[in-house]
Amino acid sequence: MTSEACATDASMRRVLRADLLDFTADPGFALPNEATGVRWRPDHLVLIEDGRIHAVQPAAQAVPPGWQHVIQEDHGGRLLMPGFIDTHVHCPQLDVIASFGTALLDWLNTYTFPAEKRYADPEVSRLGAQRFLSALWAHGTTSAVVFPTVHKVSAHALFEAAHAQGMRLITGKVLMDRHAPDGLRDDVAQAERDCIDLIDRWHDQGRQAFAVTVRFAPTSTPVQLAMAGLLCQTYPGTYMQTHVAENQDEVRWVAELFPDARSYLDVYDREGLLGPRAVLAHGIWLDTNDRAVLRERGAQIAHCPSSNLFLGSGLFDWVQAQREGVAVSLASDVGGGTSLSMLRNMQDAYKIQAMQGNRLTAWKALHAATLGAAQALGLAHEIGQIEPGHMADLTVWDWAHGPVAAHRDRLARDSHVTGHDALHERAFVWMTLGDERNLVETLIRGQTVFQSLLSSGFDPFSGPSISDPEPA
């Protein structure tokens, strides 16, 4: 079938045939042969109607009455998964991804803040949002928790672009009223008005959700943090996103700025910012008390592997967080991170655990980027699984791209290990050698938003949103 035939009508029925992989529970850090919660359904059909998954059944079984006329889109031998959920990523930082030579605080001042200033321009924000969402889809990500900039218009542009496609998106104008250059600071009263305007306009509008977005403790005054906490209390359905304990210099700075706080995390907790809808990026330099607070509040850590390595921030101990009951999802943190690909971030996550003597299975990593994140965000009824009633946010993948991966995949496929262990070998090879080049197609709400050039000639990067130069 062609992209035109499927990309226009949400009420249209579609049937996809592939090997389905998703999760029914957290496999934890169990070894592959002991892991539970892995659901593998080879050669199945996914029936899609009105943007949702209508049914899942073996391909050999007859389709229900009324579905016989729907042409099956045959992805036989390919992998079909729920779309990935990136729980921490910065839209404007596509402009500074892969910037040389700095750690967090210098990186912000040298690269990020100058780039973010441009988003005061509505046209820059509009083009930036479109480019960013197209790029997420081209990497297999169908839901995201996103930082725009301090400018209200940058959040509005993201909401507008995501809403137009029916994409699940969580964002909100960044709060920062100190320790940032001219053009990137708000003030408490205006920031509060902007947030309330955005909540009124966008929160719970379709699949859009507002997040109270504190950049990080150093860039907000205590008065602004108190205002942010009040917003969380006043609008209980909203999310909260921020950064915490990413880098040791940052932790020391926060201790100087807030001498009466027990810890960095406590700066947020005492203002009422931590709850089940709080997403805190990094959390590398926390202590046991902090992890207990996160567990009690039901807040999650967005682990950002490629960013932590690229900026030299530190090694997040995922096993310890799991042992102490903290929910952990996976995130790209572009532009500190070096790729929007969740697979590439899983590769870095594996290495970060290996440096600490831990072993991250493909099951644990893939769960964290699908069902695990959906549950932590309170959205498991909608995303994260291939399940009737869920939104048809799906990705289709080739097992291998290029001769080395094809060779290795063939050996894994033909290996004599049995059961989930054999499947894990293949999945781990895919996770470790794969990236966005393995992606065949991305669906959001049952509509194709990305199709690989190789499979169709459909070019998501064509058109003005991607290629137009922007004003300096």
Binding site for Zn ion (CB under 5 A): 281, 333
Q: Around Cβ 465, how many Cβ atoms within 10 Å?
A: 18
> Which CB sits closer to Zn ion, 170 or 449?
170
Least Å distance, CB 335 to Zn ion, is: 9
Instruction: Give the residue among 236, 177, 190, 234 at the shortest CA–CA distance from 209.
Output: 236
Q: What are phi and psi of 27, to 5 degrees?
A: -70, -10
Contacts of 328 (CB under 8 A, 6+ apart): 300, 301, 302, 303, 318, 321, 322, 368, 372
CB of residue 222 to Zn ion, shortest distance in Å: 22
DSSP per-residue letters across 312-353 = T-----HHHHHHTT-EEEE---TTTSS-S-HHHHHHHHHHHH
Residue 333 CB, nearest distance to Zn ion (Å)? 5
Nearer to Zn ion, 266 or 333 (CB): 333
Nearest distance from C-beta of residue 285 to Zn ion, angstroms: 15
Specify the residue, 281 or 365, whose C-beta has the smaller distance to Zn ion: 281
Nearer to Zn ion, 81 or 281 (CB): 281
Are the C-beta atoms of 239 and 145 separated by less than 8 Å? yes
Q: Which residues contact 413 (CB under 8 A, 6 or more apart)?
A: 399, 426
Nearest residue (CB) to Zn ion, 271 versus 333: 333
Closest CB to Zn ion among residues 333, 387:
333
Minimum Å gap between C-beta 337 and Zn ion is 8
Distance of closest approach, residue 132 Cβ to Zn ion, in angstroms: 14
**Measured between alpha carbons, how far is 325 from 402 in angstroms, rounded to an integer?**
40
- Least distance between Zn ion and beta carbon 407 (Å): 37
| 207 torsion bin: left (phi>0), alpha (psi -120 to 50), beta (else) | alpha
Q: Residue 396 has which token pair?
A: 């289709």
| Minimum distance, C-beta of residue 7 to Zn ion, in the bound complex (Å) | 32
Cα 261 from Cα 321, distance rounded (Å)? 22
Distance CA 184, CA 177 (A): 8
Give the nearest distance from C-beta 310 to Zn ion in angstroms: 12
How near is the Cβ of 216 to Zn ion at its closest, in Å? 8
**What totals of helices (H) and strands (E) does the chain contain, helices first?**
19, 16
Q: In what order do the strands lie in the sheet with 14-23?
A: 52-58, 38-49, 14-23, 72-82, 394-397, 439-444, 447-451
- Residues 286 and 305: their CA atoms lie apart, in Å, by 16
When the beta carbons of 285 and 428 are compared against Zn ion, the nearer one is 285
Q: Give the DSSP H or E segment for 240.
A: strand 239-244
Query: Which CB sits closer to Zn ion, 107 or 430?
Result: 107
Choice between 16 and 145, CB closer to Zn ion: 145
> Angle at CA 158, nearest 5°, toward 223 and 246?
50
Residue 281 or 342: which CB sits closer to Zn ion? Answer: 281
In this structure, the chain runs to a length of 472
Residue nearest to Zn ion (CB): 333
